[in-house]
Structure 1
Amino acid sequence: MPERSHALPQSIDETQAMLSAGDYVAGRALATVLFLSLRMKRPLFLEGEAGVGKTEIAKVLAKALDRPLIRLQCYEGLDVSSAVYEWNYPAQMLEIRLAEATGVGDRDAIERNIFSERHLIRRPVLQALEGTGGRAPVFLIDELDRTDEAFEAFLLEILSDYQVTIPELGTIKAEEPPIVIITTNRTREIHDALKRRCLYHWVDYPTADVELEIVRRKAPGCSADLSEQIVAYVQKLRQMDLFKSPGVAETIDWATALTELDRLALDPETVSDTIGTLLKYQDDIARIQGSAGAKLLSDVKAELAAAE
């Protein structure tokens, strides 16, 4: 049995406190769906814009529960050999040549030897299924929308029974299902058949108060005044029609960068010099340069002053 301190949370409040202890500021809705996912042993499907903290949930959960974190980073062209398993072909060829050199003629014995587990290269899916009881890993399937529908269908089969068949070895079934977190940036729609097997939550951009708390936790060296200005500025940017609005990760990066530069407040020159930590597309950067950027900063400071 796992230690009590690493046991699954027994309530929504405990779930929220667990995330908070890992410096993840979560609303009650997220804590609720995560609690239910753990209790019902169902995958949790997290959808939202890039940089809003979906992946971080799995990392915090693995650390809080003292479970291994196994991450399958999805990409276009991902296949079974990269996601599940493959054979160590160079080692197998060496075994065959050694058998030939020593005169071993038993073909069945050679086949059993080259297709033994010591020549099996375990990829993330297989690693996730081989967790021991009470220590099943947190299995993060990150950015599923980057894969194609064929791999999505294959994954659906695995998540239905938590098992995979290797023709040469047989069926490997999880002793205990892993804790599955699936993320997607919604660059394409995921099939309903997979979503039906999951609990769903949309991870949105945080409110100003929540984002300010995140900055305080993740960039503690950033002064209170500068943190407020950073968050207010980012919140304003997200109201603009940008190609890619900055996520929470970019907010933290910006706060960290300004702290490293010993800045105590935002000014037009500082914003211009460091904007590359916040915005990653030249068209977006061009939109806030010059008078537009100066007005945006002026509006931010005026609103903060009025709120005091």
Structure 2
Amino acid sequence: MSQFPKQALPATIDETIAMLEAHDYLAGRSLATVLFLALKLKRPLFLEGDAGVGKTEIAKVLSKALGRDLIRLQCYEGLDVSSAVYEWNYPAQMLDIRIAEAEGVRDRSRLETDLFSEKHLIRRPVLQALSASTGGAPVFLIDELDRTDEAFEAFLLEILSDYQVTIPELGTVKANEPPIVIITTNRTREVHDALKRRCLYHWVDYPSSAMELAIIRRKVPGCNERLASEIVAYVQKLRTLDLFKNPGIAETIDWATALVELDRVALDPETISDTVGALLKYQDDIARINGSEGRQTLDAVKAELRAVG
């Protein structure tokens, strides 16, 4: 059961924006609108965008804001039904069989009924999301769907059609109330249109300079205004350089936090070189930034900030 008290769904788009902001998630109006509609219409929300732009965080914040359980299905290559939906506790079943044999139990049908009962059922995320009975419908996060294969995607489409799943030994489990479904993908492959049609769609882009600066002010309150402005301007410039992996807002926050911990008040080449591992995660990108291109980028940022300030 959620540790947060259950809250009513927002009644307007403005209330949705305020709800997210109250939990330190700054959302543009377009994102707030599609989230409001997903809650109102009880439709899954399909969020697509580069890694690190805050897709997963939306589900986490929504869980806290609404006081609902967060159930997360982390997708990966090879994910199957037993890992996603349910499986039987085989060691416990074998133990019961041995005990039954020792006690001389000969009623095979009764033994089978006991072996395939609720006490031996291991509920995985899909079944947990469909069978939740307290605290209202949970927030069901299906994270990085693009990492799975098309077979699992087709299975998921079936689940989202009726919000039910059949366990041969126990019968059909149907959700009393559809969960609040958030699906994320980093677009490493295309997800089939049939699944997207079940959802409301939103592309989560990198934030604007103004939005990213507001996020840094909110998430890293110890960051002084000059340093925050330079960090945001520098990261925004890096995203134009066609790096192997552009830094997301999560990396910007990590970098700002690291610089505050080091008592930095402004950016300089040495500081960037020492801390760039908090911002970039690939050696080729780091090598570019530690070279002349990184220094030129910093000089351009400083010049632009002097021009406007």
Contact 1:133/1:175, CA 8 A, preserved across alignment? no
Aligned counterparts, 1:287-306, within 5 A:
287-306=288-307
RMSD over aligned CA atoms reads: 1.2
Q: Secondary structure at the match of 1:288?
A: helix
Alignment partner of 1:108 is 2:106 = no
Query: 1:74·1:142 contact (CA, 8 Å) conserved in 2?
Result: yes
Number of the residue aligned with 1:13: 14
Equivalent residues in 2 for 1:112-261 (5 A)?
A: 112-132=113-133, 135-261=136-262
Percent sequence identity over aligned pairs: 77
What is the CA–CA distance in structure 2 between the aligned matches of 1:74 and 1:5, rounded to whole Å? 28
Amino acid at match of 1:189: E
Query: Cα offset for 1:133?
Result: 6.7
| 1:291 CA displacement | 2.2
State how far apart, in whole Å, the 1-side matches of 2:225 and 2:64 are: 29
**Aligned counterparts of 1:5 and 1:176: Cα–Cα separation in 2:** 15
Letter in 2 for 1:262: D
Secondary structure, counterpart of 1:6 in structure 2: coil
For 1:65, the aligned partner's letter is L
CA distance in 1 between counterparts of 2:241 and 2:308 reads 22
Gaps of 5+ in 2: none
In the TM superposition, residue 5 of structure 1 has moved relative to its aligned partner by 7.2
Shift of residue 134 of structure 1?
5.9
Question: Contact (CA 8 Å) 2:5, 2:67: kept in 1 or not?
Answer: no
Return the offset for 1:288: 1.6
Q: How far apart are 1:132 and its partner, in Å?
A: 2.3
TM-score normalised by L of structure 1: 0.98
Bigger Cα displacement from structure 2, 3-12 vs 199-208: 3-12
* Deviation digits for residues 247-276 of structure 1 (CA, Å, limit 9, x no counterpart): 000000000000111111101000000001
- Structure 1 residue 31 and structure 2 residue 35: aligned? no
Mapped partners of 1:172, 1:94: distance in 2? 27
Runs of at least 4 residues off by over 2 Å: none
- TM-fit CA distance, 1:4: 9.7
Report the AA paired with residue 13 of structure 1.
D
Scaled by the length of structure 2, the TM-score of the pair is 0.97
Q: Which residue of 2 aligns with 1:86?
A: 87
Cα distance, 1:241 vs structure 2:
1.3
Contact kept? 1:45, 1:195, Cα under 8 Å:
yes
Counterpart CA distance in 1 for 2:275 and 2:109 is 65
CA distance in 2, matches of 1:62, 1:209: 27
1:96 aligns with 2:103: no
Give the partner amino acid of 1:226: L
Segments of structure 1 that go 5 or more residues without pairing to the other structure are none
Q: Is the 8 A contact 1:133 1:176 kept in 2?
A: no
**Distance in 2 separating the partners of 1:126 and 1:105:** 33
- Check whether the contact 1:71–1:141 (CA below 8 A) recurs between aligned residues: yes
Distance 1:168 1:186 in 2: 37
